C-alpha cells in the first residue's frame, strides 16, 4: 500500500512540475500584442486581417482562431492556413492557391470545347481550387451521361507554371454510347409491350435510329416515360393506374441498359354522371355543357377532362369573367367501375401578372418573345392565355424547347411568368435534285433564315435550275412592321420555262411583289399583295395552236390581290385536327396590258378518327374572267395537275387544241380530295414515314374560242379521278410523297 501511495505522489508532483510553467507561459502570452502575416504573395495583408476574429489588445481565444481559419479557407484563396501564437505575436501563415492561366480539354470529339467551357466553373484568371475542379469533373461526366456515354471518364491534370500560375487540363475518355438494349414491362395485361414501347420516349437501340438520341440511356428521360405511361393509361380509362417502379440495370457487357417498368393497371372505368355547376349568377350552365368533350357511358379519359376544363375556361373568359377557376370534381364508383365528373365553375383568386421574365434567349430579342404573349404585365392572369402564348412561341420555330411557368410575385395577388427557352438553328440551306414532267431534271438550292438578326425577320433566297425551267427568287418579311401587329414584305423573282412538251412555247417572267398582312383574331388573318410582272411568250412553234400564236409577245400584269384565311389547324405539317378556309380575289388592270378578275377558294378539314389515324377532306374552286372587252392570256389561265390533281401532270387535263394537242389552260376549275393518313407497321415514329391513301377528283374547262375565231378545241369537262396508296416522308422542308398515283377516270381534253 505504501508503494502505491508513493507512486501516486510522484505522478501528482510530475503533473504540477510540468503543468504550472505551461499555464504560466500561456498566461504571459494571453494578450495579443501584434499580428504578423506570412506567405502571402497576391493577397494583401489587410485583406487577410479582415477575416480574422482576433484583434490586437485582446486575449487569444482558440474558438475565435478556429472561426478565423474557416473564414480564410472559405475565400478559396488559400490551400493551407496556420494560425499560432509566437510569444505575444499572432502569426498567420498562408499558402496561396495558384491562378488558372488556361483551361483546356483533351480527348473530346463528340462534345466541342466551347460547350464544355460554358459548363465548367473553372475559368482563366480565377483562383484554382481542388473543390471547384472536382465539381467540374462531375459536371463533365453528367454532360456525357446525358448524351448516353456512361463509360466516359475525366482526369484533371494540373501543369504548374511560374509566378503562381497553372494550366488546368481535363483529359477525357469519351467511351462508347451506352444504349438501351431492352425495354420490358411487368404487370401489363391490357396492352402489349410493343404498344407501351410506342408510348414512351426511350427506345431500344437499332441501326435505323442514328438520327435520334432516344435510344441512349437517360435517367431524366425515364422519369418522363413514367409520366407518359400514366397519361396513356388515364386516357384509356384506367383511373387507378400507377407505375410501381422503373429500374435500369447495366448489361453484363456494360454496353447497354436493361430497363424494366413494373406497373399496376387497375380496373377500367367509364364516365358516369357528368355535370356542370356554376357559382356565377346569370351564367347558363346548359350553354357550358355544350363545351364538354365527354359524355356518360364513354371510357374514362383524363385528357378529355382537361380539354373540357380548358373549353369552359375559355368560354367563360370570353363572356367577360376575368378570374375563373374550373375544378373537375372526380368521384370513382368502384362498385360499377364508373367515374362521376362535376365541373365546378367558380371565381378564382384575383391574380395579376407582375413580371414576365425571359431566359435562355441567347440570340432572339426579348421583344420578339414578348409580342407573342396574349397577356402583358399588369393584366389579369389567365391560364388559357398562358397556354396559347406558349403555343404561339412554339409555332415560331425559333426554339427547341419552350417552358412557361408561374412563380409567386411580390404579394399574394401577383404572379411572375418565368419563360425559359432553348434556341435552335433557324437557318436552312439544302440541296435537292429530282425530276418533274414540266421541269425536267431539277436542282434546287433554297436558303432561308427565319430569325434574321434575332428580330424574327425572314429572309429567303431560292435558286432552281432544271433542263426545262429556271427560277430565282428573293423574299423578305417583317412580321411586326414598325412594332405593330402588321406584317410587311417584298418578293423579287425571275422565271424561265420551256413548255414545248405541253404547249409548244416558252415563257419568261421578271417582277416584284409587295405584301402586307394583319390578324383579326387568333385564327383569322388577311393578306394584301400587289404584283407587277412582265412576261414574254416566245419560241412559239409554227405548228402551235392559233390560240398560242395569238398570245405571243410581251405583256405587263399589274395585279392587286386580297386573301382572307381562317385557319384552326394544330400544326402545318402532319396536321391532326382543325380546318383551313381561304379565299383570294385578284384584279389586274390598274396599269399594264392585262385586264381580268380572278378568284379562288379552297378549304380542308382534318379529324383524328382513332389514335394516329387522321382523315381529311378538302376542295378548291376558281374562275378567271376578262373585262373591258379584253381576253385572258394563256399564261394567266388555270392549269391543274401535279400536286393539285395527283396522277395527272400539270397541263394534262382541260382544254386542248384538237389538231396540235397543245394544252390551253382554262377559265374554271374545281378539285377535291379525301385522304387517310396512318402509321406504318414496324416503322418507328422518329423515321416520320406515314402511310397515305387518297382519292383526288377535278376538272378544268372554259376557253375563249370566239376571241380567237377557232373551233378546233377539245373543251369537254368530265371529272377526272385518281387514287393511290403509298407513303409520305416528313421533313423540315415539307412533306415528301413517296408514291405513284394511278388514274381511274381520264379522257381527251
| DSSP characters over 1-16 | -HHHHHHHHHHHHHHH
Question: Cβ neighbours of residue 436 under 8 Å, at least 6 residues apart?
Answer: 442, 466, 642
pLDDT single digits (tens) 238-256 = 999 999 999 988 777 777 8
pLDDT single digits (tens) 680-705 = 776 666 556 677 888 899 999 988 76
- The pLDDT of residue 78 is above 60: yes
Taking residues 582-603, what's their average pLDDT? 95
Region at 79 (left for phi over 0; alpha for psi -120 to 50; beta for the rest): alpha
Query: In this predicted structure, what is the pLDDT of residue 537?
Result: 93
Query: In this predicted structure, what is the pLDDT of residue 16?
Result: 36
- The pLDDT of residue 563 is above 90: yes
Helix (H, G, I), strand (E, B), or coil: what is residue 606? strand
In this prediction, residue 554 has a pLDDT band, given cuts at 50, 70 and 90, of very high
- The pLDDT of residue 322 is above 70: no
d(CA 465, CA 467): 7
Q: What are phi and psi of 295, to 5 degrees?
A: -150, 160
pLDDT single digits (tens) 433-486 = 655 555 555 667 888 888 998 899 999 998 888 777 889 999 999 999 988 889
DSSP track, 91-135: EEEEEEPPEEEEEEEES-SSS-HHHHHHH-S--TTSBP-HHHHHH
Highest mean pLDDT out of 362-366, 427-431, 490-494, 606-610? 490-494
d(CA 267, CA 300): 11
Query: In this predicted structure, what is the pLDDT of residue 170?
Result: 95
pLDDT single digits (tens) 399-409 = 888 999 888 88
- The pLDDT of residue 204 is above 90: no
Question: Cβ neighbours of residue 278 under 8 Å, at least 6 residues apart?
Answer: 285, 288, 344, 345, 346
DSSP track, 190-219: SS-HHHHHTTSS-----GGGTT-STTB--H
Query: In this predicted structure, what is the pLDDT of residue 704?
Result: 74
d(CA 19, CA 1): 27
In this prediction, residue 219 has a pLDDT band, given cuts at 50, 70 and 90, of confident
Q: Write down how long the chain is.
A: 749
- Is residue 427 exposed (0-12), middle (13-18) or buried (19+ Cβ within 10 Å)? exposed
Share of the chain above pLDDT 70, in %: 86
- The pLDDT of residue 333 is above 60: yes
pLDDT single digits (tens) 134-165 = 999 999 998 888 777 878 899 999 998 887 88
- Cell 382572307 maps to which residue? 564
Q: Which residue has the higher pLDDT, 503 or 13?
A: 503
In this prediction, residue 307 has a pLDDT band, given cuts at 50, 70 and 90, of confident
Which residue segments constitute the domains of the chain, with CATH numbers given? 2-96 (3.10.20.310), 99-173 (3.10.20.310), 179-264 (3.10.20.310), 270-347 (3.10.20.310), 352-423 (3.10.20.310), 499-745 (2.40.160.50)
In this prediction, residue 4 has a pLDDT band, given cuts at 50, 70 and 90, of very low
Q: Around 232, how many Cα atoms within 13 Å sit in the side-chain half-sphere? A: 20
- Is residue 335 exposed (0-12), middle (13-18) or buried (19+ Cβ within 10 Å)? exposed
d(CA 614, CA 270): 25
In this prediction, residue 3 has a pLDDT band, given cuts at 50, 70 and 90, of very low
pLDDT single digits (tens) 618-657 = 999 999 999 988 889 998 999 888 777 887 777 778 888 8
Amino acid at each position: 500500500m505504501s508503494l502505491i501511495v508513493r507512486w501516486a505522489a510522484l505522478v501528482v508532483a510530475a503533473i504540477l512540475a510540468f503543468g504550472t510553467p505551461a499555464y504560466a507561459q500561456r498566461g504571459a502570452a494571453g494578450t495579443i500584442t501584434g499580428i504578423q502575416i506570412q506567405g502571402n504573395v497576391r493577397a494583401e495583408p489587410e485583406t487577410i486581417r479582415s477575416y480574422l476574429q482576433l484583434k490586437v489588445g485582446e486575449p487569444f481565444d482558440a474558438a475565435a482562431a478556429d472561426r478565423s481559419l474557416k473564414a480564410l479557407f472559405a475565400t478559396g484563396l488559400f490551400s493551407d492556413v496556420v494560425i499560432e501564437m509566437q510569444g505575444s505575436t499572432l502569426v498567420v501563415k498562408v499558402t496561396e492557391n495558384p491562378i488558372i492561366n488556361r483551361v483546356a480539354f483533351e480527348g473530346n470529339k463528340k462534345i466541342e470545347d466551347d460547350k464544355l467551357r460554358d459548363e465548367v466553373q473553372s475559368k482563366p484568371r480565377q483562383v484554382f481550387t481542388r473543390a471547384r475542379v472536382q465539381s467540374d469533373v462531375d459536371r463533365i461526366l453528367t454532360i456525357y451521361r446525358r448524351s448516353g456515354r456512361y463509360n466516359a471518364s475525366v482526369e484533371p491534370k494540373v501543369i504548374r507554371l511560374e509566378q503562381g500560375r497553372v494550366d488546368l487540363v481535363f483529359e477525357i475518355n469519351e467511351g462508347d454510347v451506352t444504349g438501351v438494349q431492352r425495354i420490358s414491362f411487368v404487370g401489363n395485361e391490357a396492352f402489349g409491350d410493343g404498344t407501351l414501347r410506342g408510348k414512351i420516349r426511350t427506345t431500344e437501340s437499332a441501326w435505323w435510329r442514328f438520327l435520334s438520341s432516344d435510344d441512349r440511356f437517360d435517367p431524366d428521360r425515364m422519369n418522363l416515360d413514367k409520366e407518359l405511361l400514366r397519361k396513356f393509361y388515364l386516357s384509356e380509362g384506367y383511373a387507378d393506374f400507377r407505375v410501381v417502379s422503373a429500374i435500369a440495370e447495366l448489361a453484363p457487357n456494360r454496353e447497354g441498359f436493361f430497363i424494366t417498368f413494373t406497373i399496376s393497371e387497375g380496373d377500367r372505368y367509364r364516365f358516369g354522371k357528368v355535370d356542370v355547376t356554376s357559382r356565377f349568377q346569370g351564367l347558363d350552365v346548359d350553354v357550358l355543357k355544350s363545351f364538354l368533350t365527354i359524355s356518360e357511358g364513354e371510357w374514362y379519359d383524363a385528357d378529355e377532362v382537361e380539354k373540357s376544363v380548358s373549353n369552359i375556361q375559355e368560354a367563360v373568359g370570353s363572356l367577360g369573367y376575368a378570374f375563373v377557376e374550373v375544378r373537375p370534381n372526380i368521384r370513382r364508383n368502384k362498385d360499377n367501375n364508373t367515374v362521376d365528373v362535376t365541373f365546378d365553375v367558380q371565381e378564382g383568386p384575383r391574380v395579376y401578372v407582375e413580371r414576365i421574365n425571359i431566359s435562355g434567349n441567347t440570340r432572339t430579342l426579348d421583344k420578339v418573345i414578348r409580342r407573342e404573349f396574349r397577356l402583358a404585365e399588369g393584366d389579369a392572369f389567365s391560364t388559357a392565355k398562358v397556354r396559347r402564348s406558349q403555343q404561339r412561341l412554339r409555332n415560331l420555330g425559333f426554339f427547341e424547347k419552350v417552358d412557361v411557368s408561374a412563380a409567386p410575385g411580390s404579394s399574394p395577388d401577383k404572379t411572375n411568368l418565368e419563360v425559359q427557352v432553348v434556341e435552335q438553328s433557324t437557318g436552312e440551306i439544302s440541296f435537292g435534285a429530282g425530276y418533274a414532267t414540266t421541269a425536267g431534271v431539277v436542282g434546287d438550292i433554297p436558303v432561308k433564315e427565319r430569325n434574321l438578326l434575332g428580330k424574327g425577320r425572314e429572309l429567303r433566297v431560292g435558286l432552281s435550275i432544271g433542263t426545262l425551267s429556271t427560277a430565282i427568287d428573293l423574299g423578305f418579311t417583317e412580321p411586326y412592321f414598325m412594332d405593330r401587329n402588321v406584317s410587311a414584305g417584298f418578293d423579287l423573282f425571275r422565271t424561265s420555262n420551256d413548255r414545248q412538251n405541253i404547249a409548244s412555247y416558252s415563257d419568261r417572267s421578271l417582277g416584284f411583289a409587295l405584301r402586307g398582312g394583319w390578324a383579326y383574331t387568333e385564327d383569322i388573318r388577311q393578306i394584301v399583295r400587289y404584283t407587277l410582272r412582265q412576261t414574254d411568250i416566245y419560241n412559239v412553234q409554227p405548228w402551235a395552236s392559233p390560240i398560242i400564236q395569238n398570245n405571243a409577245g410581251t405583256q405587263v400584269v399589274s395585279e392587286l390581290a386580297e386573301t382572307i384565311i381562317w385557319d384552326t389547324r394544330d400544326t402545318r405539317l402532319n396536321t391532326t385536327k382543325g380546318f383551313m378556309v381561304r379565299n383570294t380575289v385578284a384584279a389586274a388592270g390598274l396599269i399594264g396590258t392585262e385586264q381580268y378578275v380572278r378568284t379562288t377558294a379552297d378549304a380542308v378539314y382534318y379529324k383524328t378518327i382513332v389514335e394516329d389515324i387522321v382523315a381529311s377532306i378538302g376542295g378548291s374552286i376558281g374562275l378567271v374572267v376578262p373585262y373591258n372587252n379584253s381576253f385572258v392570256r394563256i399564261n394567266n389561265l388555270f392549269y391543274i395537275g401535279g400536286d393539285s390533281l395527283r396522277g395527272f401532270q400539270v397541263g394534262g387535263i382541260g382544254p386542248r387544241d384538237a389538231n396540235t394537242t397543245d394544252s390551253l389552260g382554262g377559265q374554271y376549275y374545281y378539285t377535291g380530295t379525301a385522304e387517310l393518313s396512318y402509321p406504318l407497321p414496324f416503322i418507328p415514329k422518329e423515321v416520320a414515314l406515314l402511310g397515305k391513301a387518297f382519292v383526288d377528283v377535278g376538272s378544268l374547262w372554259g376557253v375563249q374560242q370566239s376571241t380567237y375565231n377557232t373551233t378546233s378545241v377539245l373543251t369537254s369537262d368530265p371529272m377526272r379521278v385518281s387514287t393511290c396508296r403509298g407513303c409520305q416522308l416528313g421533313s423540315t422542308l415539307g412533306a415528301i410523297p413517296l408514291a405513284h398515283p394511278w388514274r381511274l377516270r381520264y379522257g381527251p381534253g
